[in-house]
Chain A
Amino acid sequence: DTAVSQTPKYLVTQMGNDKSIKCEQNLGHDTMYWYKQDSKKFLKIMFSYNNKELIINETVPNRFSPKSPDKAHLNLHINSLELGDSAVYFCASSLGTANTGELFFGEGSRLTVL
């Protein structure tokens, strides 16, 4: 059983399109995250949710819309895609806060914007 699963694993799309990535965790964790990893491997926090509530929005453009229908799911919708959005997007979860627990990462969703 995959602990944190993301779909799709690969997205290739044109500039200006809209795309969504879904994330589900079966670990019973309270906190979920979206991270973006660029081509230089820099892993940057985008959003944190705790029990479906947004805790952190790390100055992400409002073209990015996270949604958490319940604490096991955190989806990411991106409008009007730009070339600079090309990256690997990782979903992660933790039992409690990030400072005391391990982050479990999904396999990543590689987004390529042409």
Chain B
Amino acid sequence: QKEVEQNSGPLSVPEGAIASLNCTYSDRGSQSFFWYRQYSGKSPELIMSIYSNGDKEDGRFTAQLNKASQYVSLLIRDSQPSDSATYLCAVNPLDSSYKLIFGSGTRLLVRP
């Protein structure tokens, strides 16, 4: 299986700070990239998708994609304690439109 790698964390930031989450992927042909958030004991939910190089902003969230470096990141501005969760990077590989490959997630802890 093609790989998606993330630092497991935990990444601890104070409330109001910027949290930066990173992800690398091995399939150079991948075209679609996603960030999911998973609260403890809950199911994953989509927070951002990105398809082309550069930045995409949605509220406090910014996704960044660099296909040449095979790198995706998620920035969370003005982090809140409610942002404390595991963030899963997901990639659609070139060989199939019918699956997402997930990383093992980075646990984010926002300290009040």
Contacts and interface: CB of A to CB of B under 8 A. Distances in A.
A, B bound:
yes
A56 B98 contact: yes
Interface string A25-36: 000000101010
A66 interface: no
Interface stretch (B16-24, B40-48, B52-60, B61-69): B40-48
Given A44-B102, A56-B96, A98-B92, A106 B43 contact: yes
Interface residues of B, number: 23
Interface in A67-114: 90, 97-100, 102-103, 105-108
Contacts of B88: 41, 43
A63 to B, nearest CB: 19
Nearest to A4: B43
Give the top 7 A-B pairs by smallest Cβ distance, nearest first: A97-B97, A99-B92, A105-B43, A48-B98, A43-B102, A99-B32, A102-B46
